[in-house]
Structure 1
Amino acid sequence: MTSSTRQVIIFVLGMIAGIFLISQLAFREDKRKPEDEKTEAAAAKAITPPKVPKQMTLFGEKVPLERQEIREAFDRELIYNYYNEGHILYILKLADRYFPQIEATLKAHGVPDDFKYLCVAESNLQNLVSRVGASGFWQFMKETAPGYNLEVNENTDERYHVEKSTEAACKYLKAAYAKFGNWTAAAASYNCGMGGYNGAATFQRTMNYYDLLLPEETNKYIFRILAFKQILGNANSLGFQLSKDDLYGQFPTKTVTVNGSISNLVQWAADRGTNYKMVKKLNPWIRGRTLVAKPGKTYEIKLPG
């Protein structure tokens, strides 16, 4: 056999071996069964709903969770909020700062502690402005705020004052409780108004919220409050685990009483060892660049402490 013939044979054999190896790699059978692949994919994407408790109270009143339509309405709001993780985490951080103030005011006015969750449902503990102009933690309208002792003008808007707006909410809720005879109805009327709730209750011959067909927003309202109570009140066991360092906490402050106008807030802040930014941050109810005091009225302004 000549040398050139031997080289050709070796080349051909090498080509055959290479083609065989490639075919084995390209077309080898995957030993995993299709059902195994489906199981693995399902496990990776598994989503489980939060459990609806068998029993709950809201505002100290029993929630009839034994009724299917009530349980499903609660389940809907629970799922929606539970899986909005970033939303819940941020509320938990803010709650550490604001819940102590809200809880103390509710207690002082004899209003059930659970109403702090109504505040969450209204504003997520932020000074929001709704599309119709309701503002602050408790979402009071500009026109109705003065009736609850909240001053509103171009320089001052006490809807943004946590303690004072909470006091105003207490005044409303106690009046609604006196009218309807239970706190759940009072809470629902916070959404649709006393007139709206009373009209529906009169037509349907019951004051019981859970027996009433109300506007869709009000139909969901109590269950949204209930969902916040369940999630925020059981955050750790539901997987929302925050350390103390994760929470925002309260700013150390001191209070200065003012009984006259402040024409230059920038200079006023500087004279007291702080700045305009911190005065506005700690006192969001001061809306303008000045503070115009009404005759005989005093204001308490928080400063960094």
Structure 2
Amino acid sequence: MKKLKEGQLNNFLILLLLISTIFLFTFSIKNNNNNKYYEYSQKNYKVFTFAIPDTVYFAGQLIDLTNPFIRERVESEIYSIAYFHSQFIKTVKQTERYMPYIEQELKNKAMPSDLKYIAIIESNLMPTTSPAGAKGIWQFMKGTATKYGLEVTDDVDERLNFEKSTIAALSYLHDLYNMFGDWLLTIAAYNAGENYIKNKITQQYTNNFWDLVMNAETARYISRAIATKLIYQSLKTYGFYIPVLELYPPYKYKEIAIDTSIKDLPLFAKQMNVSYYNFKKLNPWLISDKLSNAGNKKYIIRIPVDTVFKITNKLNNDTIKLIERI
């Protein structure tokens, strides 16, 4: 019995020694791999600063970026935008769905094309809702939205209708420009409200935007717009090599006119033989599961078209065309 116990003890010691050897060997390999990883990352990972120009025109106004007080404000926004890679890439991919329409409307109204960047800094081209209750790509508050002809009810919120809200936003900007006669003050007023900007001008004895002390959000707003233009006008300069084929194409749809109520939108989508999710994606302004229309108002509803519609990274040749500017 004693010999058996001694044998068991010997076996246990041998097993323990074997486990310890395996553990030390495994740890040594893992530690070696970790060292290689950190050596590789230290050798290859780099963070760059950018060559900021001395001047830039924004909405027709010359911005002196050699002025340190202005340069630091703009440069700070450049790094905030350029190094938020995930958000930036998602926004760039959305531009093909929205920017052509905005650019055309600005051209039609003879307004500066740089105003298109307001939509990007407001919402990153996503029809979101802010904590303050502003909605849509142009982030309209309800009062301003209704003032400029957008319908906001329990069933309909046209702040989420891209085309209608774009027309309203440009009309609002046009009116603000007539009020201030300066595009920087106009854009600041779009963010903070015209009364706020008027009061700051009166209280601080200047109508130069860069000299005004304002709330943090509005103070950053113009700098962020300028930074957005600089990056979007020269994507590769700021490290973004994005293939044109990766832009999200506009959705395909047909339009139908509706002048009656729809009691059940999911059922309506089913009867139209389309996905309810896709239906709502194309009509985000329909904010409930019904459409009340006692006044027989005509609404234009988009129906997704059931055709081949695919996004692919496959190329027909070896040439990859990159997005140069937006």
Counterpart-to-counterpart distance in 2, 1:79 and 1:124: 16
Q: Which residue of 2 aligns with 1:35?
A: none
Secondary structure in structure 2 of the residue aligned to 1:291: coil
CA 1:257/1:109 → structure 2, altered by over 3 Å: closer, same or farther? farther
The answer to whether 1:100 aligns with 2:100 is yes
Counterpart-to-counterpart distance in 2, 1:297 and 1:107: 30
Counterpart-to-counterpart distance in 1, 2:50 and 2:236: 13
Q: Which residue of 2 aligns with 1:168?
A: 168
Q: Tell me which moved more, 202-211 or 164-173.
A: 202-211
Q: Segments of 4+ in structure 1 off by > 6 A?
A: none
Contact in 2 for aligned 1:106/1:166 (Cα 8 Å): no
Spell out the pairing of 1:197-276 with structure 2 (5 A cutoff).
197-276=197-276
Contact in 2 for aligned 1:255/1:303 (Cα 8 Å): yes
- From the CA coordinates, give the structure whose radius of gyration is larger: 1
Contact in 1 for aligned 2:278/2:304 (Cα 8 Å): yes
Deviations 1:156-193 (A, max 9, x none): 00010111111111121111101100111100111111
TM-score (norm 1): 0.82
Deviations 1:130-149 (A, max 9, x none): 11111111111123321111
The amino acid of 1:272's aligned partner reads M
Contact in 1 for aligned 2:74/2:227 (Cα 8 Å): yes
Number of residue pairs the alignment of both structures matches: 267
CA 1:158/1:294 → structure 2, altered by over 3 Å: closer, same or farther? farther
Contact in 1 for aligned 2:54/2:64 (Cα 8 Å): no
The structural deviation recorded for 1:202 is: 1.5
Secondary structure in structure 2 of the residue aligned to 1:63: strand
The structural deviation recorded for 1:258 is: 1.5
Contact in 2 for aligned 1:123/1:136 (Cα 8 Å): yes
The amino acid of 2:99's aligned partner reads F
CA 1:41/1:97 → structure 2, altered by over 3 Å: closer, same or farther? closer
Q: Which residue of 1 aligns with 2:310?
A: none
The structural deviation recorded for 1:41 is: 8.5
Secondary structure in structure 2 of the residue aligned to 1:114: helix
The structural deviation recorded for 1:286 is: 0.4
Contact in 2 for aligned 1:59/1:183 (Cα 8 Å): yes
Q: Which residue of 1 aligns with 2:88?
A: 88
Q: Which residue of 2 aligns with 1:281?
A: 281
Secondary structure in structure 2 of the residue aligned to 1:143: helix
Secondary structure in structure 1 of the residue aligned to 2:146: helix
Counterpart-to-counterpart distance in 1, 2:146 and 2:258: 21
Contact in 2 for aligned 1:139/1:159 (Cα 8 Å): yes
The amino acid of 1:264's aligned partner reads D
The structural deviation recorded for 1:245 is: 2.7
The answer to whether 1:195 aligns with 2:199 is no
Contact in 1 for aligned 2:123/2:139 (Cα 8 Å): yes
Spell out the pairing of 1:111-150 with structure 2 (5 A cutoff).
111-150=111-150
Q: Which residue of 1 aligns with 2:304?
A: 304
CA 1:109/1:298 → structure 2, altered by over 3 Å: closer, same or farther? farther
The amino acid of 2:263's aligned partner reads S
CA RMSD of aligned residues (A): 2.0
